[in-house]
Chains A and B, each alone.
Chain A
């Protein structure tokens, strides 16, 4: 088939909402876009283990510790599903990790913020996982098969995460004055960064148009952000926690809340490496990778020797 036929075939598949599979022909830009997006997503999962991992050794009860540890492990598992999905696009894990470690690949900027108190663990689960779910639910219907299937598995676990985060917030919000204060402080610090998670406003989002054309993304940044705000207001009210936005107001015409923009200058700073923890996060990943080098080498060398024995036997 000529490229033009292949391209028509590809477009026709998309039009019929059929999945694109690894063996199918796909435009080069589609492949590149997917590698970028899936690997960015995978990196976000494993970098995301760090801010929450920061509280594993200090979790305030055995139950809370076990729940948090299992959650952080889930995120690592998500990273694994996603790296595997990215690998179907003919790129190796080693290359992908190298892009993360050298700063060539991005990850969600939210993980460059600090987890300063235990309430941050609640806020991250409730708000950050909550925002992630908005994106991820949509991605279960993304056009690339392996990515969509990874997202189905991931979404099942994500809803637990959000519930667990909200549960932590409940304990705090209905606890002692010090706990309430801790919860409000976490909200004050995490609200705007969470809004940034949906990406720039549609008008300023360069990658969005293609992603929607190729049915990789099915809803725009602004649509998802609006849905998140609408859902979160009532949850915050129940907790008696104030959302730090004087302009937050119900708008009857659009049947949704009006709300303030996050500080996009701050967002750009973080994307360009100047967030509170960018260097720490990448530093921790690089350190783990380097410290693990001899372990991986030992496993590989041993595997080779075993194979040689098996062949000889």
Chain B
């Protein structure tokens, strides 16, 4: 395969959506109230949908006869390349929302550039994802605002969530040599511009939410090399249980 860089990139996007959706779907049936339960489930559904399209394309690019399900359910911990933030356990609703807002803001700016990709399939998937992500970001940013300005308790919970999670923000923008190759061929955008657009958006949301941006944070990294948090293995164990227990079965 001479498309290794493209394959790796597709895994990155597919895993980002898959693992975050897996976490969000843990809330289904347990949300803070019914309307919000439905709204969060909607977001999970969008992300699963994107991950499925992207992994399907990755499998095709790889040309090894694997399917999107093989990629989702039969890779090990070290082969997953989602940003670490996606796999962090849900915590309370403030944590879930803070995690979501950070990723939504990233995805919004990222897809807005990725839609110009020279790769038509990627451009098509991005066009659909932009529409969805706009709604996701509006949802998470408006909850940030409510928590930050709602009650003392909600403010404190949101600030605590941000203080913990901020260490995982830089890892979202990680790139490697393969990614830089793809920039040259016009398949993916420069990450630096995306990061500054993300920073601007986050600064706005944080200001509106009357919370402060954590300063002097030591940044966690490793996702592009498949170095995960300890919780990740448990997430995979649960997600992959059926495919591992019944090899070769069709569902």
Q: Which residues of A contact B (CB under 8 A)?
A: 46, 49-50, 53, 56-66, 69-70, 72-73, 76-77, 79-80, 83, 118, 168, 171, 175-176, 178-179, 284, 287-288, 291-302, 305
Q: Distance (Å) between the CB of B10 and the closest chain A CB?
A: 15
Confirm or deny: B239 has a beta carbon within 8 angstroms of a beta carbon on chain A. yes
Partner of A69, one of B41, B69, B243: B41
Interface bracket on B: 35 or more
User: Which of B101-109, B132-140, B142-150, B194-202 lines the interface with chain A?
Assistant: B142-150
**Chain B, residue nearest A167 (CB):** B251
**Chain B, residue nearest A60 (CB):** B242
User: Which of B25-33, B116-124, B175-183 lines the interface with chain A?
Assistant: B25-33
Show 14 A/B contacts (Cβ-Cβ < 8 Å), sorted by A.
A49-B28, A62-B52, A70-B45, A76-B28, A76-B41, A80-B34, A168-B251, A175-B250, A179-B246, A288-B29, A291-B93, A293-B32, A296-B33, A302-B146
In the complex, are the beta carbons of A176 and B249 less than 8 A apart? yes
Q: Note all chain A residues with C-beta closer than 8 A to B150.
A: 297-302
Give chain B interface residues in 204-251, CB to chain A under 8 Å. Answer: 238-239, 241-243, 246, 248-251
Q: Note all chain B residues with C-beta closer than 8 A to A284.
A: 29-30
In the complex, are the beta carbons of B249 and A288 less than 8 A apart? no
List 8 tightest A-B contacts by C-beta distance, closest first: A292-B32, A298-B150, A298-B154, A60-B242, A295-B32, A49-B29, A53-B29, A60-B251
In the complex, are the beta carbons of B35 and A295 less than 8 A apart? no
Q: Contacts A60-B242, A66-B52, A175-B250 given; indicate if A302 touches B25 (C-beta within 8 A).
A: no
In the complex, are the beta carbons of A73 and B38 less than 8 A apart? yes
In the complex, are the beta carbons of B250 and A80 less than 8 A apart? no
A76 to B41, CA, bound (A): 10
Confirm or deny: B68 has a beta carbon within 8 angstroms of a beta carbon on chain A. yes
A298 to B153, CA, bound (A): 8
A18 to B92, CA, bound (A): 49
Q: Contacts A58-B239, A298-B154 given; indicate if A66 touches B29 (C-beta within 8 A).
A: no
Question: Total number of A-B contacts with CB less than 8 angstroms?
Answer: 137
Q: Note all chain A residues with C-beta closer than 8 A to B149.
A: 302, 305
Q: Distance (Å) between the CB of A188 and the closest chain B CB?
A: 20
In the complex, are the beta carbons of B153 and A72 less than 8 A apart? no
Confirm or deny: B49 has a beta carbon within 8 angstroms of a beta carbon on chain A. yes
Most buried by A among B45, B55, B151, B241: B151
Q: Note all chain B residues with C-beta closer than 8 A to A46.
A: 29, 34
A291-B32, A301-B154 given; 17 more Cβ-contact pairs under 8 Å: A56-B26, A57-B25, A58-B241, A61-B69, A61-B251, A66-B48, A69-B45, A72-B41, A79-B34, A80-B34, A80-B35, A179-B246, A284-B30, A295-B36, A296-B32, A298-B146, A299-B150
A291 to B93, CA, bound (A): 9
A63 to B32, CA, bound (A): 27
In the complex, are the beta carbons of A69 and B37 less than 8 A apart? no
In the complex, are the beta carbons of A298 and B28 less than 8 A apart? no
Partner of A288, one of B30, B42, B246: B30
In the complex, are the beta carbons of B151 and A294 less than 8 A apart? yes
Q: Distance (Å) between the CB of A114 and the closest chain B CB?
A: 15
Q: Note all chain A residues with C-beta closer than 8 A to B52.
A: 62-63, 66
A302 to B147, CA, bound (A): 8
Confirm or deny: B157 has a beta carbon within 8 angstroms of a beta carbon on chain A. yes
Interface 1/0 per residue, B1-33 and A, CB below 8 Å: 000000000000000001000100110111111
Give chain B interface residues in 156-179, CB to chain A under 8 Å. Answer: 157
A288 to B40, CA, bound (A): 14
Q: Contacts A56-B25, A64-B251, A302-B146 given; indicate if A288 touches B32 (C-beta within 8 A).
A: yes
Q: Note all chain B residues with C-beta closer than 8 A to A50.
A: 29
In the complex, are the beta carbons of B48 and A65 less than 8 A apart? yes
Q: Note all chain B residues with C-beta closer than 8 A to A83.
A: 34
Q: Distance (Å) between the CB of A228 and the closest chain B CB?
A: 26
A250 to B246, CA, bound (A): 38
Q: Note all chain A residues with C-beta closer than 8 A to B42.
A: 73
In the complex, are the beta carbons of A76 and B34 less than 8 A apart? yes
Q: Distance (Å) between the CB of A73 and the closest chain B CB?
A: 4
Q: Note all chain B residues with C-beta closer than 8 A to A59.
A: 242
**Chain A, residue nearest B240 (CB):** A58
Q: Note all chain B residues with C-beta closer than 8 A to A175.
A: 249-250
**Chain B, residue nearest A178 (CB):** B246
In the complex, are the beta carbons of B48 and A58 less than 8 A apart? no
In the complex, are the beta carbons of B29 and A58 less than 8 A apart? no
Interface 1/0 per residue, B32-63 and A, CB below 8 Å: 11111110011011001101100100000000
**Chain B, residue nearest A182 (CB):** B246
